[in-house]
Structure 1
């Protein structure tokens, strides 16, 4: 009973990390919290709230403090960056597994079914589990993005798409447009894999609308995916400057994410010439 009470408190308590304005403090504090969750899950392995918290926590930590750190390294640190991306991939897969374990509680066999018949499997999930759909897909998709040389992992892309599309059907406004932000990434895939830059921009516009322009994520996501893919340097620059204009204090729940993403936006602007083959010759790019 005491373990369940602690698990409930961790799973349902206030998120003191996302509202913090000190990424380095959070970087040092999060691992202890994550391992505490894992220890509790050894005792209460079917605690849905704790499984969701672990899935979300490992995904956020892997992105903000491992993958982005690797991406910020210069070419002289190539070997270190490769090792860090490998670590990020492993953390994403751990997060995915927590999410699938949580889904298995109410939807037995869904983990295997997602690989065999993803649309049918995702259709089983009800609206109360939209957060699980999102975070499981975010973890799984992020692992795939880092493991493109692993055919077995890339083959799971259909499952990720099915999870995000089902969540959109159930609640497109979840977390201020985060599902549409995820679709920007999925639609930035090559046309041969079902992607569409036009649809990505539609999801971008809806994400901005749902967040009321208060999240840096949609701007950064479209810039680093579609703008780079289409080689629209002016659009890239404009989007990243929009991300830098977001006030981290406008929505305290997004404060840490905004600070981290703005750090990444500055890095992308500094590396602009590495991402585009031709110099910018236009004053304005296409309006996203």
Structure 2
């Protein structure tokens, strides 16, 4: 309310306040009729001329208040956008994932609607992009994996929703990059290596979430092999983020690379070595705040090498993690513990027993 009053005062000071505005109108009217008279035939014209300045002044005042109203509205929207852009910390410390599951859809639509009014609000755009990625992964994709055992059709329906939201998040992220760097997407399509040279360290957050959304969209779109052609663009963004600030967000980019090492094409190094390197870097940057690297390592290296002891060791560390020791990462750690437990429960489906352990048929 204080800002609105300030705006009104500033406008009033320009035209001298309400009383001064009235005096101006009266003076103009008198001035138009104060000259010599040349008969009654001229008086209608004098009256018409006297009204014209008053009419124009009315239009001017109306325009001022209209523009002031638009300005106040935009300012208010930006303040709400600033507030919504900072809600991530509120959710990240939540100890009830189900509460977040129920609350996020409303927040997502609120951010989306506001973003349509102030599309250049980069903080809100980043928050919208990241929120859609996290919702699609944590509450759709992971739930679909759990449902596979009991309701395959329901699981597929969740994956279909996740595909849609991953793409929406990707589009929001790309639009944000396009607003900041006009022509970026076209250049990314034609020459990813040259396009990413325009990106700076301040772009790392939107690069990460856009790439993660892109990867999720492609990963769940196996029935659309044409989307594989977009992998080089996604990889270019994530590689650039890694090069600019690999420590960002407790080593989140390294955490992504742990599992991606086994699907990436054209890499000379062994995927196990690449994944292990990223695991160590992620753990170093997390400094005990994140258990995600343990789960990522179990899902990638342990399963790919069929290493049951390593699988159990990593997931055991994840489940033993004290999620309350670091409140700002509590939610994501709770979700990762849920994933760790599901993986451990499905060890027999993911890791085949050793031949020596198989029963001998005589």
With the shorter chain as reference, the TM-score category is over 0.9
Give the CA deviation at 1:281: 7.0
Distance in 2 between residues matched to 1:193 and 1:152, nearest whole Å: 22
Which residue in the other structure is 1:183 paired with?
Answer: 257
Contact preservation (8 Å) 2:250, 2:282:
yes
Structure 2 CA distance for partners of 1:139 and 1:281, relative to 1, 3 Å: farther
Distance in 2 between residues matched to 1:259 and 1:169, nearest whole Å: 29
Q: Which runs of 5+ in 2 are unaligned?
A: 1-74, 358-362
Residue 231 of structure 2 corresponds to residue 140 of structure 1: no
Which residue in the other structure is 1:206 paired with?
Answer: 281
Give the root-mean-square deviation of aligned CA atoms. 1.8
- Give 1:236's match in structure 2, choosing from 311, 315, 321: 311
Residue 150 of structure 2 corresponds to residue 76 of structure 1: yes
Which residue in the other structure is 2:113 paired with?
Answer: 39
Please identify the structure whose Cα radius of gyration is greater: 2
Indicate the SS of the match to 2:90: coil
Residue 281 of structure 2 corresponds to residue 217 of structure 1: no
Distance in 1 between residues matched to 2:231 and 2:98, nearest whole Å: 33
Distance in 1 between residues matched to 2:92 and 2:154, nearest whole Å: 28
Deviates more, 1:128-137 or 1:110-119: 110-119
With structure 1 as the length reference, what TM-score do the two structures score?
0.92
Structure 2 CA distance for partners of 1:244 and 1:17, relative to 1, 3 Å: same
Give the CA deviation at 1:193: 6.8
Contact preservation (8 Å) 1:214, 1:246:
no
- Give 1:158's match in structure 2, choosing from 232, 252, 256: 232
| 1:26-69 deviation per Cα after TM superposition (whole angstroms, max 9, x unaligned) | 10001100000011012112211111010000001111111111
Distance in 2 between residues matched to 1:119 and 1:184, nearest whole Å: 23
Give the CA deviation at 1:14: 5.9
| 1:234-283 deviation per Cα after TM superposition (whole angstroms, max 9, x unaligned) | 1111111111122111221210000011011001000000011224979x
Which residue in the other structure is 2:102 paired with?
Answer: 28
Structure 2 CA distance for partners of 1:108 and 1:50, relative to 1, 3 Å: same
Contact preservation (8 Å) 1:233, 1:280:
no
Distance in 2 between residues matched to 1:193 and 1:224, nearest whole Å: 20
Distance in 1 between residues matched to 2:80 and 2:127, nearest whole Å: 13
| 1:163-219 deviation per Cα after TM superposition (whole angstroms, max 9, x unaligned) | 111111111110011010111122121666767221111001110111123311111
Indicate the SS of the match to 1:75: coil
With structure 2 as the length reference, what TM-score do the two structures score?
0.74
Give the CA deviation at 1:86: 1.1
Distance in 1 between residues matched to 2:355 and 2:205, nearest whole Å: 40
Give the CA deviation at 1:147: 1.2
Which residue in the other structure is 2:223 paired with?
Answer: 149
Distance in 2 between residues matched to 1:14 and 1:272, nearest whole Å: 33
Contact preservation (8 Å) 2:88, 2:127:
no
Aligned length: 282
Distance in 2 between residues matched to 1:190 and 1:51, nearest whole Å: 29
Structure number with the bigger relative contact order (C-alpha 8 A, sep ≥ 6) is 1
Give the CA deviation at 1:112: 2.9
Distance in 1 between residues matched to 2:353 and 2:137, nearest whole Å: 30
Which residue in the other structure is 2:186 paired with?
Answer: 112
